[in-house]
Each structure stands twice: as C-alpha cells, then as structure tokens.
Amino acid sequence: MTHILYGAPLSLYSGKARAYLDWKNIDYREVLATPDIHREVIIPNVGRSVIPVVQTADGSILQDTTRIIDHFEQSEGGPSIYPDTPRQRLAALLLETFGDEWLVIPAMHYRWNYNEEWVYGEFGKTAAPDATPDEQYEVGKKAGQRFRGFVPMLGISEATIPAIEQSYETLLADLNAHFSEHDFLFGSRPSIGDYGLIGPLYAHNYRDPESGKIMERLAPQVAAWVRRMVEVEKPLSGTFLPDDDIPGTLLPILRRMMDEQLPYLERVSSMLGDWLAENPDTELPRAVGMADFTVEGVTGQRIAVPFSLWMLQRALDFYASLEDPDKRECDKLLVQIGGVELLDLSSSPRLTFENHVLTAV
C-alpha cells in the first residue's frame, strides 16, 4: 500500500506538501478531499476539517505540512531539504515561517479580491467533483464562504490593501532578482524555506488566474521557480551553496520578514502570555484576540495566532542548539537583517503541537 495525500488543487498547504513529496520521491497517491473524505477520514482522525492530511502506508495520520515533511525526512533519510549549516538552516526555517504564516495575507487578498468568481468554481470542483460547472459554482459559493470570511480576520481591508500590494510587489521584485541567479533559495536544492514560500506563491498567487498574470508580468523568474518546485524533474537532486553562504539577494526578503512579521509575532507572544495567565488549563483557541500589524507604514489588525509562534519556535530551538561560534555567525546574520529582537522571543510561552493539538507547556 502507498501513502495517501488528502488534499485539493486550490489548497495552499496541499501545494506545499505535494511539492515536497514529489521532490522526495515518495510513493503516494493524492485523493481529493471531498466532503465525504472530511466526514469519514479527516474529522474523525484530526478533530477538525483541515487539509492536507497524509495517511501513511501503515495507517498513521499526519496533519500539518511541517509534521508531514519531518515525518518523511526521518523515515526516508537520503538528501534532505534541511541545510546542515547554521546560517542557511536558520534562514530556511525563518522563511518557512514567513511563507506559511505571513504570505497567506497577499495570497488571500489576491485570491478573494481578484479571483472570487473563479475560485467558487474551484471550491465546487472539490466539494462536488461529479457535478456540472453550474452546480459546482453554486456548491462552491457555499463552501467558499468560510474562507472568504477569513479575509478581514487576516487584516485585509480597504485601508491595508494598497500597502499589502506594495509589499507583495516589492517582495516579488526581490525574489525575481534572487531566482535570476539561483534555482532555489540556497542553491540548486530546494530547502524547507522554499517549501514555506511555495504554499502561497503556488496555489493562490500562481495558479489563481488573475494572480498568476500579475506574477508572470512582474516576476517571471518567480513563476519559473514555482514551476521548478511543483513540476519536479529531478527528485532528490541538487546541493546547497558552499560555505554556509546566504546570497545577498535573500537579505531584503529576510529584512521584510523582520520588518513586518516580527513585530506582529512579538505582540502575539505577549497576548498569549496574558491569555494563559487568565485562562489556565484551557485548550488554546486558534486566536487569542486581534493584534496590530504594520505593512509599508499602514497599520491594521489581524487575528493573533499562537500557531505562528510554534513555527517560529522551530527556528529559535535550532538557534539554541548551536555551539557558540555558530551562534555568533547567526547573530551577524540577524544584525544584517534587522532581526536581533527575534531572540527575545525565546522567552515566549513554550508550545507543543502533538496529536493535532497546540498546547502551551
């Protein structure tokens, strides 16, 4: 029996998992996550409706792309998407957090403000694969409402949209410059950072037609990188750059993360601390309130998501595991990207993510 990926073509995190499984040359088949699959497989095993989910050949259920990736990194061995060297590995983990937890803002903005009618059809193709296009549109309109409802919660509003677009277009220009020189973030092999970025940059910002046109027009090298990521020609191949090199073209991208996402993560950390003090022994909610965030000088409010801190904790744990000389090298990188305060977040409430549940310990 092979492994099964329950996912969908329009799903951000399914794209991340699929691209990784293909590069890792995993023997799997993808099954569309229809309402029946949610009811019969996903909800009973994971406790909520979420994709992607992997059922391994021995029947274990994996949810969350990071968990899925780490499972196969361990079980398969072989070439790894985690660089061995300190600066590259830290930067890769940070960029996974940036892609997974921050670029969902431009992803959802462009999807819902430029592709709304089209995407209802896509929701319908997942919810009712055998229906006619008209029926799919109607079914999809209902199914998509839940996701449309996330848009304001993510901080996407009339006031913030011009800043979100300015930020995204500059990010595209920065990534375009990088991918003009390198196949992937750290050389000729994709890293965990590439997989973080591919979620939003494939399913939403490349595959959604209007968003894809914007990417092709402004950043053709980014579109070419998306194709390299999702149409895997040489699994398990390539190398990371020698000497733990962080190409200069990555610095503006890391700086953007520190400028935009880090202050937000600091607020979420402090709000989580307050929430835990007031709600001892209570299961963590998905959001612990609304937090300010600022993009290109414009401030909005978005849900304060503790899960984002769990993603960051992976990078901080890696830093903490390093010996002093390697830490000093990473410190220099953090100075270069304006991210020294990142290390203060190591005193953030500690989180675990076990059995599909996020818990403060």
- Give CA torsion, residues 40, 60, 7, 351, to 10 deg: 110
Closest approach of ligand GSH to the CB of residue 184, in Å: 20
Nearer to ligand GSH, 55 or 66 (CB): 66
CB 266 within 8 A of CB 345: yes
3-state secondary structure of 179: helix
Q: Taking the complex as a whole, how short is the minimal distance between the CB of residue 65 and ligand GSH, in angstroms?
A: 3
Residue number, 15 or 121, with CB nearest to ligand GSH: 15
Least gap, CB of 17 to ligand GSH (angstroms): 7
Residues in the chain: 361
| Closest listed residue to residue 13, CA positions, set 29, 33, 27 | 33
Closer residue to ligand GSH, CB minimum distance, 15 or 300: 15
Q: Which is nearer to ligand GSH, 13 or 184 (CB)?
A: 13
Residues with Cβ within 8 Å of residue 63, at least 6 apart in sequence: 46, 50, 52, 53, 54, 356
Burial of 336-348, coded b for 16+ CB within 10 Å and e otherwise, reads ebbbeebeebeeb
What is the number of the residue whose Cβ is closest to ligand GSH?
65
CA distance 70 to 40: 25
At its nearest, how many Å lie between ligand GSH and the CB of residue 354? 15
Smallest gap from residue 1 Cβ to ligand GSH (A): 23
| DSSP per residue, 233-267 | SSTT---BPGGG---GGGHHHHHHIIIIIHHHHHH
Contacting positions for ligand GSH (CB under 6 A): 11-13, 50-52, 64-66, 100
Mutual angle of helices 209-218 and 104-114, in 10-degree steps: 120
Instruction: Give 50 or 218: the residue with its C-beta nearer to ligand GSH.
Output: 50
Of 49 and 237, which CB lies nearer to ligand GSH in the complex structure? 49
Burial of 148 (0-12, 13-18, 19+ CB in 10 A): middle
Phi, psi of 299 (to 5 degrees): -105, 135
255 vs 314 by CB, closer to ligand GSH: 314
Tell me the closest approach of the beta carbon of residue 296 to ligand GSH, in angstroms: 26
Nearer to ligand GSH, 52 or 83 (CB): 52
The CB-of-335 to ligand GSH minimum distance in angstroms stands at: 30
Q: How far apart are CA 100 and CA 49, in angstroms?
A: 18
